Amino acid sequence: MMSVSQSRFGSVASVRTLLTALLAMSIWVLATGPGAGQTTPLSKLDTDQPIEITADSLEVKQDQNIAIFRGNVDALQGEMRLRADQLTVHYRSSENSEAGVNAISRIDAEGSVFLASSQETAQGDVGVYDVENGLITLTQNVVLTRGENVIRGNRLLLNLVTGQSVVDGGVGATRSGGRVRSLFVPKR
């Protein structure tokens, strides 16, 4: 005869597995807080650092205030690295900027977008980095990893100022099937 707890929640092993996954997720979330070590998760990077961009080619459209970097594009800001096939940098011209120099306001990334810090990686097909507000959005086939833990979805919203991140399945998700899928591997 099956007990009430077994009929409602499945076997004891299933409950243990669920509790282990929840514990692993809690440890992952707590590890991103202050004092978690010398490494920094993507959601807590310093957005005031300068941005250095290298690429195979650069096209500047001065009248549109954009610069298009193509081929093996690599952008560094402090501990954050952004790689993509193409980056389109939107900037404010010097007459509109408080600092009197061209300032980057947004970066659009296309093709094999890869974002990394010393603790985490995130990838997707398309990315937008709202530099002024410290917000990064990755869409289409998003994969967020930390160690062996993996979260898949169709959109990642990453707030570099508050440290909050949200993954959702989104409409039109391909690999994730419209749902967020997570794998949390407990320490053994």
Domains and CATH numbers, the chain: 1-31 (no CATH), 36-183 (2.60.450.10)
Average pLDDT, the chain: 77
Q: Tell me what percent of the residues of the chain surpass a pLDDT of 70.
A: 67
How far apart CA 151 and CA 63 sit, in angstroms, is 41
User: How does residue 13 score in pLDDT terms, banded at 50, 70 and 90?
Assistant: very low
Q: Which two tokens stand for residue 183?
A: 């794998």
Check whether 22 has a pLDDT greater than 70: no
User: Worst-scoring range by mean pLDDT, 113-117, 136-140, 149-153, 184-188?
Assistant: 184-188
pLDDT in tens, 26-39: 333 333 333 333 34
Q: What is the pTM of this model?
A: 0.70
Provide the β-strand partners of residue 69. 58, 87
The predicted model gives 49-76 an average pLDDT of: 95
Using one digit for the tens of pLDDT, what is the confidence trace for 128-146?
999 999 999 999 999 999 9
Alpha helical stretches, state H, the chain: 4-9, 12-31
Residue 24, pLDDT above cutoff 90: no
C-alpha span between 89 and 130 (Å, rounded)? 10
**pLDDT mean over 69-83:** 95
